[in-house]
Amino acid sequence: MATDQVLTGSAPAAAGGAGTQPAGAAEPKRERISRLPSLTGLRFLAALTVFVYHASIPIPTLRLLADDRTEFRLFHWFDQAGGLGVSFFFVLSGFVLTWSARDSDTTTGFWRRRFVKVYPNYVVAWVLAMVLFASDSTSTRVALSNLFMVQVWTPAYYTNFSVDPPSWSLGVEAVFYLSFPLLLAALRRIDPRHLKYWITGTIAAVWATPAVAYAALPKTPLVPSGQGFSETAYWFTYVLPPVRMVDFALGILVALAVKHGRWRDIGMIPSFLLLAGGYWLTFHMPYFYGQRATMIIPIALLIAAAATADIEGRFTLFRNRTMVWLGEISFAFYLLHYIVLSWLRKQLGTQMYSTSEGIALLVGAAVGTVVLSWLLHRLVETPLVRRFSRPRRAARAKAVA
């Protein structure tokens, strides 16, 4: 899923750790940092998990491996990797937007920047998918619902995941962006001493979602993938924007806690270990719990730990030039990877491959997607953001100054 590149805002930031300042007090006077490069680097890792998930799906339009046992074993291992990547992006989006929020910003200014950054890339991916493979199996209604980012509002599997399937998450993010100015204004009013209760409540809401789905939603019709669960319940737990808004709100609340010094950082390595444990737990829980609930706490811990490490100037593996560059093109990578995988399978015809050959093809597809993502970032995203992210009058005034 696509998320937000760390912006160069002017919001003050405080290092993590348990704080003791009273409600309404100014944020601690720590180094003011608006760029958090480790979070940018982590974005590519999240996008790569979604790539691995799609590469492992055993359907004719994607599958490369001839051996059924290996193919289905890989799918079993990576079945929840997509849920991990998307949940990470949703929480990260709330965190980064809050961290980079400017007190002087306007609602229309924020919406303009989000639109210019996201929609042109989205349209390019939509056109590529329609031209290369989707037009033959996509109705005009479904194609247009994708183009206008409203494919997530109906409980229909083949509508939610149509044209360029990963783009459904952008339809959800669009709702996040529209609601962010109002949501941030409301959550900023929370007494910093009470943020821990709100964070606990949002995590409880994530865990309550699958409980509601299993207890109250229809058991049929089943999703077309044949995995044995309800299409309506799947849509409710994984796709529906108001439900996924909880992930986004969690990111906002965690960012506010870090800013106010109300977050107790446990470090990146323990956070990664907990995330691995949360992913292992997905194999032992009902499917809907594994989509996001078992991993939501480690995701929040890891994002806060990476931000805190950057604030305090500590070493991380994700702050080097290569990882930051990959993170900067990760939005394009997220949009293009499924298109590359589908196009590759189409070009290869019906031939199937050994495990080593299939892995080599997938590595090549990943590298090819990186190259195409760099081109999309360089030729479309960057120039349009520079040209249109601020009103012409403001841009002209800055140029004159």
pLDDT digits (tens, 9 = 90+) for 146-172: 999 999 999 999 999 999 999 999 999
Summarize pLDDT for 85-102 with one digit per residue, the tens: 999 999 999 999 999 998
Query: Alpha-carbon distance 174 to 366, whole Å?
Result: 27
pLDDT tens, position by position, 311-330: 999 999 999 999 999 999 99
Q: Domain spans of the chain?
A: 37-400
* Residue 270 token pair: 């323990």
CA–CA dist 315, 313 (Å, integer): 7
Please, are residues 278 and 295 in contact by the beta-carbon 8 Å criterion? yes
Residue 358 near residue 74 (C-beta atoms within 8 A): no
* pLDDT score, position 42: 97
Tokens of 337: 């990877």
Integer Cα distance of 340 and 375 in angstroms = 14
Tokens coding 102? 């400017």
How far apart CA 279 and CA 52 sit, in angstroms, is 14
219, containing H or E segment: none
Q: How confident is the model at residue 30 (pLDDT cuts 50, 70, 90)?
A: very low
- 353 pairs with which residues across the strands? 65
Find, among 190, 333, 166, the residue nearest to 253 by Cα. Answer: 190
390 confidence band (pLDDT: 50, 70, 90): confident
Question: What whole-number distance in Å separates Cα of residue 355 and Cα of residue 9?
Answer: 47
Classify 290 as helix, strand or coil: helix
Mean pLDDT of 54-82: 95
DSSP conformation class of 332: H
- Are 279 and 53 in contact, with CB atoms under 8 Å apart? no
Average pLDDT over residues 352-380: 97
